[in-house]
A and B are shown apart, each in its own frame.
Chain A
Amino acid sequence: MESLNYLIDGFASALSLTNLLYATFGVFVGQIIGVLPGLGPITGLSLLVPLVFGMEPTSALIMLCGVYYGSFFGGAITSILLNTPGDAAAVVTTFDGYPMARQGHAGRALGIAALSSFIGGTISVLGLTLVMPLMSKAALLFGPAEYTMLIVMAFLAVLTLSSTSKTKAVISAVVGLVLATIGQDQISGQPRFTFGVFELYNGFDFALVAIGLFAIGEVLLRVEEIHHEGEQKAAKFSKALVTLEDTKRIAKPTIISSILGFFIGVLPGAGATISAFMSYGLVKAISKNKDEFGKGAPEGVAAPEAANNASVGGAMVPMLALGVPGSGSTAVLLGAMMILGLNPGPLFMTESPGVAWGVIASMYIGNVILLIMNIPMIRLFASVLYLPYSYIALGVVILSFIGAYSLQNSMFDVYLMLGSGLVGYLMKKNDFPLGPLILTLVLGSLLEGNFRKSLLTSDGSYGIFFGSVTAISIWALILVALLTPTLMKRVRTMMPTSR
């Protein structure tokens, strides 16, 4: 009952004109960013985070969440029209979306993607509303030791589910933790690894690193690709219409994938990509039209789109209730919450219910905005694909410079962002995943603080990490996280062999 009251208050806040405008702006920008090849939710969020300084926290988070889920749909547009997913989560959409576009059904595929994204998004926010109160009550059982282990679990899950070399994923994560140690020690105040550089006393701002790694790194990689291979042309566009037969075919797969996507999204490290793959595998396994998968099956577009949008709500559960993001995107959102002066963690829901429920309510509204915007405006979003990459690169570079400079009005930050860009470019070129680095950079200081507090309370005994039911439960979850890749391998065997 208390939650319902909070949700009603949340709707009142989200439906204010200012917040509606921020949600619309976020969804719009998110879709544009999602459309741009290579730029996904993390890049979009990283570019906008510096702008939220001084904004009212609820409005800022509503805008950023709009970017987050808006970019997922944008990613589907490039997958369907260009066979180039905007981000990893949209890879599965190419399996059937692009064949549909090549058969002249691009509009139908985009319509199916829009509808299933809306259903997935809405079901996941419903799940978020129901699960959040339970989760935030459970969060009160967490002390520093449990919190330390929870963060370690998030790291492990991200590492085990990484699709590239595990060694490289571990290196990426540890480099993030190493960067997090730069600056003044949070307990003793002693400077660490600053080498007398005053600007480093406050540590590495995650937003700077994120902008560099994701935006500048991507631009460098893309110009290199274009230099070698030339620019790809997008498929011809037709009107976005979903037939009655499509609706009948996608109804069941969409609902199943939405539910699956939400629960996978809750698990740290799993998120949109895994949920898209798993739902595709599941829907294919239970479908009567198995042979059509990989050749342009409407269910093959609906399932991953519903799942990756549903995972957004799921991923918000550990972030809002526990302050532990399960993915790179939610790590950036968590960083934004810190910038806004909020205190993400187990007490967030009780200390700032207005902000939390305002954001949740705005996600219901945002999904409706996304659907309304998509049907008539798909052509506008898709037109971004026909822009020469030179304009896009110029725009991304300028926005990255503004983002880096505006954090502290310092040119030092701009150079630091450029350095991160170079590192991001080299990491991508050498198959080092960037997600673990940004996740550990954001959570590094929290991990260290809780780790040291735990040892302080236990007089240096490591037994504290096994000393409670909650801690043992987290150990069990860690085991589940470690076993998930085996499960994933089984699902991947169900993927279309042509790919």
Chain B
Amino acid sequence: MRRVDLLWSVVIVVFAAAYLSAASDLPLTTRRGAPGAGVFPLYMGILLAIAGALYLVQAILVVIRKTPDNDSSSGLPSRPAMVLMGYMIGYAIAMQTLGFLIGTFVFGFLVLSTYFRLPYLRSLIVSLGMAVIVHFGFTIGFQVELPVGLIF
């Protein structure tokens, strides 16, 4: 248990409260008196709230007792991971607008050359090769439909 768990426990408790609030709008019984659409979500919401509260108590105890963190990693998202996430969101947008083949090539080239800092020529060859092989492998080999893009 680390201090960052306090943050995540609050997130879970808030999520459980929001879920329970939304679940309370669902009917608990049907017209015939059978269990309705809201029964299961209600139980799950209560269970999540209890587990979240327990987690919160454990996290608070860590802070109160000033227990040293036994794990030095922060538990929060790191910059390299978030930058790569940004690249992937860009890939999704490129796939939607430029289509799979060009989008994959552009994403591959950019991620290899600017994120992983590989030489430009190697990045170009690998990304082009990968985009072409995967595109034709999946569309012809597995008959998978891939996005054609809005521009082309």
Contact A224 B80 (CB under 8 A): yes
Contact B30 A188 (CB under 8 A): yes
Contact B95 A181 (CB under 8 A): no
Contact B84 A192 (CB under 8 A): no
Contact A187 B73 (CB under 8 A): no
Give the chain A neighbours of B128 by CB distance below 8 A: none
Chain A nearest CB from B11 CB (Å) reads 10
Which chain B residues numbered 98 to 139 have a C-beta less than 8 Å away from chain A?
A: 100, 104, 107-108, 111-112, 116, 118, 126-127, 130-131, 134, 138
Known: A397-B88, A398-B134, A401-B95. A430 touches B78 (CB 8 A): no
Instruction: Please tell me if B14 contacts chain A, counting CB pairs below 8 Å.
Output: no
Contact B143 A193 (CB under 8 A): no
Contact B92 A418 (CB under 8 A): yes
Cα distance A289–B83 when bound, in Å?
Answer: 51
Cα distance A113–B73 when bound, in Å?
Answer: 34
Instruction: Please tell me if A219 contacts chain B, counting CB pairs below 8 Å.
Output: yes
B residues contacting A by CB (< 8 A) are 1-2, 4-5, 8, 12, 19, 22, 26-27, 30, 33-37, 39-41, 44-45, 47-48, 51-52, 54-55, 58, 73, 75-78, 80-81, 84-85, 88-89, 91-92, 95-96, 100, 104, 107-108, 111-112, 116, 118, 126-127, 130-131, 134, 138, 142-147
Instruction: Please tell me if A51 contacts chain B, counting CB pairs below 8 Å.
Output: yes
Contact A227 B92 (CB under 8 A): no
Contact B96 A411 (CB under 8 A): yes
Known: A174-B51, A219-B84, A391-B126. A401 touches B91 (CB 8 A): yes
For A216, give its contact among B88, B118, B131 (CB under 8 Å): B88
Contact A190 B26 (CB under 8 A): yes
Give the interface SS of chain B, mostly helix, strand, loop or mixed. helix
Known: A224-B80, A394-B127, A414-B95. A430 touches B75 (CB 8 A): yes
The segment from A34-42, A273-281, A452-460 that touches chain B is: A452-460
**Which 10 residue pairs spanning A and B have beta carbons closest together?**
A390-B116, A185-B37, A227-B80, A220-B81, A448-B40, A174-B48, A452-B35, A190-B37, A170-B51, A224-B81
Cα distance A165–B89 when bound, in Å?
Answer: 32
Chain B nearest CB from A410 CB (Å) reads 10
Cα distance A168–B34 when bound, in Å?
Answer: 33
Complex: chain B residue closest to A389, CB-CB: B116
- What are 30 residue pairs bridging A and B, where the CB atoms are less than 8 Å apart in the complex? A54-B143, A165-B1, A167-B51, A170-B51, A171-B55, A181-B41, A187-B37, A188-B27, A188-B37, A220-B85, A221-B81, A223-B84, A227-B78, A227-B80, A388-B118, A393-B84, A398-B131, A402-B144, A405-B147, A406-B144, A406-B145, A418-B88, A418-B89, A418-B92, A421-B88, A422-B77, A422-B85, A426-B77, A430-B2, A456-B35
1/0 per residue, CB under 8 A from B, across A380-392: the answer is: 0000000010110
Chain A nearest CB from B63 CB (Å) reads 16
Instruction: Please tell me if A409 contacts chain B, counting CB pairs below 8 Å.
Output: yes
Instruction: Please tell me if A206 contacts chain B, counting CB pairs below 8 Å.
Output: no
Known: A178-B48, A394-B111, A397-B91. A430 touches B39 (CB 8 A): no
Contact B85 A193 (CB under 8 A): no
Chain A nearest CB from B76 CB (Å) reads 8
Count of chain A residues with Cβ under 8 Å from any Cβ of B?
55
Instruction: Please tell me if A177 contacts chain B, counting CB pairs below 8 Å.
Output: yes
Give the chain A neighbours of B45 by CB distance below 8 A: 178
Instruction: Please tell me if A364 contacts chain B, counting CB pairs below 8 Å.
Output: no
Contact B35 A455 (CB under 8 A): yes
For B92, give its contact among A192, A415, A448 (CB under 8 Å): A415
Chain A nearest CB from B120 CB (Å) reads 14
For A452, give its contact among B40, B80, B146 (CB under 8 Å): B40
Known: A406-B145, A414-B92, A426-B77. A167 touches B44 (CB 8 A): no
Instruction: Please tell me if A142 contacts chain B, counting CB pairs below 8 Å.
Output: no
Of the listed residues A181, A395, A399, A411, the one surrounded by the most CB atoms of chain B closer than 10 A to its CB is A181
Contact B34 A455 (CB under 8 A): yes
Instruction: Please tell me if A451 contacts chain B, counting CB pairs below 8 Å.
Output: yes
Contact A223 B104 (CB under 8 A): no
Known: A405-B146, A411-B96. A220 touches B39 (CB 8 A): no
Of the listed residues B30, B84, B100, the one surrounded by the most CB atoms of chain A closer than 10 A to its CB is B84
Complex: chain A residue closest to B142, CB-CB: A51
Q: Beyond the given A167-B55, A397-B107, could you list 9 further A-B residue pairs with CB under 8 A, ordered by the A residue number?
A: A171-B48, A216-B88, A220-B85, A402-B134, A406-B138, A406-B145, A451-B40, A452-B35, A455-B39
Which chain A residues numbered 80 to 127 have a C-beta less than 8 Å away from chain B?
A: none
Chain B nearest CB from A21 CB (Å) reads 12
Contact A188 B36 (CB under 8 A): yes
1/0 per residue, CB under 8 A from B, across A432-474: the answer is: 0000000000000000100110011000100000000000000
Contact B26 A192 (CB under 8 A): yes
Complex: chain A residue closest to B116, CB-CB: A390
For B85, give its contact among A190, A398, A418 (CB under 8 Å): A418
Cα distance A216–B78 when bound, in Å?
Answer: 15
Give the chain B neighbours of A429 by CB distance below 8 A: 73, 75-77
Cα distance A51–B48 when bound, in Å?
Answer: 34
Contact B44 A178 (CB under 8 A): yes
Give the chain A neighbours of B73 by CB distance below 8 A: 429
Of the listed residues B35, B40, B116, the one surrounded by the most CB atoms of chain A closer than 10 A to its CB is B40
Cα distance A488–B91 when bound, in Å?
Answer: 45
Instruction: Please tell me if A262 contacts chain B, counting CB pairs below 8 Å.
Output: no
Give the chain B neighbours of A224 by CB distance below 8 A: 78, 80-81
Known: A402-B134, A452-B39. A411 touches B52 (CB 8 A): no
